[in-house]
Amino acid sequence: MIEYSSFRVEDLGPLAHIIPAPEPELRVVMNRVPVVQGAGAIIPVCEPTLQGNEEKYVVECVRSNWISSAGKFIPRFEEMFAAFCGTKHAVACTSGTSALQLALVTLGIGPGDEVIIPTFTMIASANTVRHCGATPVFVDAEPVTWNIDPTKIEAAITPRTKAIVPVHTYGHPADMDAITAIARRHDLVVVEDAAEAHGAQYKGRPTGSLARAGCFSFYANKIVTTGEGGMITTDDAELADKARNIRDHAFSKERHFWHRAPGHNFRMTNLQAAIGVAQMERVDWLVARRIENAMAYNARLRDLPGITLPPATDGVKNVYWMYSILVDEAAFGRGRDDIRRHLADNAIETRSFFVPMHLQPLYVRPEYLGRFPVAEMLCARGFYLPSSASLTEQQIDFVCARIRELRR
């Protein structure tokens, strides 16, 4: 049987207090919350909008019997997505996690190798490296954009380092010029984790086109969704070809049931791709809605002391996957967990920031504690507000009023 770590929050000692409190229960307040769609009488932290051709195309798959991993929607979705990112190729797969795994495995990352990732990220960043047999090496965030701090990468490089996988956290691109320069100097490959950054830009260039490969997620809360799904984008024809083959058990071309490399089954279905095509027909709207939400929140929260708004830096298009803020308890008068509980009492769903990889029971080591202070600060102070494309101005008013009334 698999073993679970028995490490407890209390074992973090003086750092235990930065781990977010258990999720506050949502209290449904009838006739008070401006509800728009689907989820009932709450404002969900995120819900998909499937109001284009999603239903029509899925019905088409069912009626024509093309529900598995062949069918016309898969190449169509890949072509649309490659065009959207400005890359020559796109390879669809089962999830953002499998996209990362597929990219790393196809690039030859394996046992004995080290891969540099931000410690402030979602668990898939670390686990995909581990599942390749390689070792994830953590680097702290930088305080302005919350992305991997390029000035701390070189200290983490060893003779075993093979790759850097920066994450475009919450929709704000990482500093790719600095990361690319380091990678060139040390002969490392860079793979973007763009799971949260569909449509974002760095110096006028789209995320997904900024490195050897880009990896996207189409989970239900992502900016573009297929329910579950993922995509690798790349200009490298050999990488795309090999990823397509590894995605499908590495079947050889010469004869059937003949395998020369360890493949996976990471194939996307035509049903998922059908939803993806419908989403891509409206992708400009889906991205624009995230940005409009952020501007509406900014206007209502800007003057609040102790609240740090999401990063917006020069030369970058942040797509605000989730509208993320930091709370300074001393300046605001209430802490992050207090605000989240008050919002939950008003049927408003929120999410605390990631718990950094170096504090996870799975990866923690005594010498890590306190070594990544920016990620720890983000974990202690950060959370995100409802961010669906379907969110209304009235709902944003309601959320912001509930935050403002808490201030002491």
Q: How far apart are the first and last CA of the chain?
A: 51
Closest distance to ligand PLP from the beta carbon of 95 (Å): 3
Nearer to ligand PLP, 245 or 272 (CB): 272
Closest distance to ligand PLP from the beta carbon of 353 (Å): 12
Nearer to ligand PLP, 276 or 335 (CB): 276
Nearer to ligand PLP, 96 or 356 (CB): 96
Ramachandran angles phi, psi of 276, nearest 5°:
-60, -40
Q: Could you say whether residue 217 binds ligand PLP (CB under 6 A)?
A: yes
Q: Which two tokens stand for residue 122?
A: 């979602």
Nearer to ligand PLP, 49 or 97 (CB): 97
Nearer to ligand PLP, 134 or 307 (CB): 134
Closest CA to 212 of 186, 187, 231, 239: 239
Closest distance to ligand PLP from the beta carbon of 125 (Å): 6
319/338 Cα distance (integer angstroms): 27
Closest distance to ligand PLP from the beta carbon of 166 (Å): 10
Q: Which two tokens stand for residue 158?
A: 């060893």
Closest residue to ligand PLP using C-beta atoms = 96
Q: Please identify which residue in 150, 230, 310, 382 interacts with ligand PLP, judged by CB under 6 A.
A: 230
- In a 3-state reduction of DSSP, which class is residue 237? helix
Taking a C-beta distance cutoff of 8 angstroms, is the pair 293, 301 a contact?
Answer: no
Long-range contacts of 27-34 (CB under 8 A, 24+ apart): 27/344, 27/345, 27/346, 27/347, 28/347, 29/346, 29/347, 32/346, 32/347, 33/346, 33/347, 33/348, 33/395, 33/398, 34/392, 34/394, 34/395, 34/398
Q: Could you say whether residue 233 binds ligand PLP (CB under 6 A)?
A: no
Q: Is the dihedral of CA 129, 80, 58, 293 positive or negative?
A: positive
Taking a C-beta distance cutoff of 8 angstroms, is the pair 171, 222 a contact?
Answer: no
Q: Which of residues 162-201 bind ligand PLP (CB under 6 A)?
A: 167, 193, 195-196
Quick note: the x/- pattern for ligand PLP over 42-81, rule CB under 6 A, is ----------------------------------------
- The alpha carbon of residue 54 and the mean position of all alpha carbons in its chain are separated, in whole angstroms, by 23
Closest distance to ligand PLP from the beta carbon of 46 (Å): 11
Q: Which of residues 341-380 bind ligand PLP (CB under 6 A)?
A: none
Q: Which of residues 81-140 bind ligand PLP (CB under 6 A)?
A: 95-97, 121-122, 124-125
Closest distance to ligand PLP from the beta carbon of 232 (Å): 12
Closest distance to ligand PLP from the beta carbon of 168 (Å): 8
Nearer to ligand PLP, 277 or 403 (CB): 277
Count of residues near ligand PLP by CB under 6 A: 14
332/341 Cα distance (integer angstroms): 15
Residues that bind ligand PLP (CB under 6 A): 95-97, 121-122, 124-125, 167, 193, 195-196, 217, 219, 230
